[in-house]
Amino acid sequence: MIGRYAPSDVAALFSDERRFDTMVEVELLATDALAELGVVPRADALALRARRPVVDAQFVAAVSEREEVTHHDTAAFVDVLQGRVGEPENAWIHYGLTSSDVVDTAQCVTLRAAMDIVVAEVTALRDALSARAIEEVDTPVAGRTHGVYAEPTTFGAKFALFALQVERDRERCVDARRAIAVGKLSGAVGTYSNIDPFVESYVCERLGLEATPANQVVARDRHAQVLYACAAVGTSVEQFALEVRHLARSEVGEVEEPFAPGQKGSSAMPHKRNPVVAERLCGLARVLRGYLVAGLEDVALWHERDISHSSVERVVLPDALTLTVYVLRQATALAAGLVVKRERALENLSEGTLGLVFSQSVLLALVESGVERDAAYRTVQAAARQAHDEGRNFRDVVVASEEVSLSPDALARAFDLERLLAHRRRFIDALTWTS
């Protein structure tokens, strides 16, 4: 992932140093387990643990140099590790294991740690949206369907519905975190032919993983589930960001992205305050969905394993997890700092719509007065079209219409904004985690 979109804490999880250090720990835990079984002399296991090498840039460079000879990165890693811990105890390194035992188990440790960050960040976004929902529950705004004025809603309802969707994403992320927190040390094709199952249980328990049956590799539907969770998060963020972009348009002007001191909206036009964060989030959501396709294609491998997934995962797994955290943090800042233009929203609702958002209320009032529904619909439709074409207020047209006969009380009720929004707090009540 390019540095622009790579938070340092997540990027560090996927560094070569962190990867090899975790692999070292898997190897040493395996020798500890073998010592518990009496296969490895306990003194040898203790010596290996005492000589645990520091995994730094020099260690990484040594593995890379050795790989030029072995043309096998895990074999190169094992050679370097054996060289660093020294003879004769180093003969026990990688005893009875295959590459995927170490690589997959270490990778799952990393993915679990990354998903811990994702879960924390998706929770933060949910909470930011929830806070704005509570704050704006009484702020009326014109609802739109098909991009056209519909009926009134509130900004609180908008924020609450986004929060509810992100909560579902949080649940998906928790499930994906659970699915990927597994390990396997069962040897070639997974039959424990040269390694006791105790070793797998011992190592996984100490790494906080669940030992799982496998062939030579951990099943890749687990990794695809992680990528789906990331893609779902990106899509929910895109939905929120797209709403911001629409409402920020000049002719709407109901929200505005936070604008920092010294910020420039355009290199050419000083008046511009473009929704650049929202646009960026919409674009990055497309990238996250692309990673999911690659992850799904990695699930089907030949027989007990092939290596076609490996090169893909070296790109998509670090990038997807890193980018997901970036997107979540950007979205949280946007949600928390979004400027809601309450007066402009009310102006659009009352004047911009010409009062047409009350057309259903007038229709129902006529039905209640005894007018047949289709006839009432046609009458209100004609009045609405007249108001639209002549640029007149819908209520004035209704009052002047000879075909509409409503009492003053019925008319007042039909155009009562508070009545239409009387149940707005149901959206807030649905945010059960805030109570």
| Residues involved in catalysis | 146, 266
C-alpha to C-alpha distance for 215 and 383, rounded to whole angstroms: 71
Residue with tokens 């006529």: 366
Which backbone phi and psi does 151 adopt, to 5 degrees? -130, 165
- Report the Cα 9 to chain-centroid distance in Å: 17
Q: What is the largest CA-CA distance in the chain?
A: 104
Helix/strand/coil (H/E/C) assignment for every residue in the chain: CCHHHCCHHHHHHCCHHHHHHHHHHHHHHHHHHHHHHCCCCHHHHHHHHHCCCCCCHHHHHHHHHHHHHHCCHHHHHHHHHHHHHCCCHHHHCCCCCCHHHHHHHHHHHHHHHHHHHHHHHHHHHHHHHHHHHHHCCCCEEEEEECCEEEEEEEHHHHHHHHHHHHHHHHHHHHHHHHHHCEECCCCHHHCCCCCCHHHHHHHHHHHCCEECCCCCCCCCHHHHHHHHHHHHHHHHHHHHHHHHHHHCCCCCCCEECCCCCCCCCCCCCCCCCCCHHHHHHHHHHHHHHHHHHHHHHCCCCCCCCCCHHHHHHHHHHHHHHHHHHHHHHHHHHHHHHCEECHHHHHHHHHHHCCCHHHHHHHHHHHHHCCCCHHHHHHHHHHHHHHHHHHCCCHHHHHHHCCCCCCCHHHHHHHCCHHHHCCCCHHHHHCCHHHC
Contacts for 221 with CB less than 8 Å, ≥ 6 apart = 299
C-alpha to C-alpha distance for 223 and 313, rounded to whole angstroms: 9
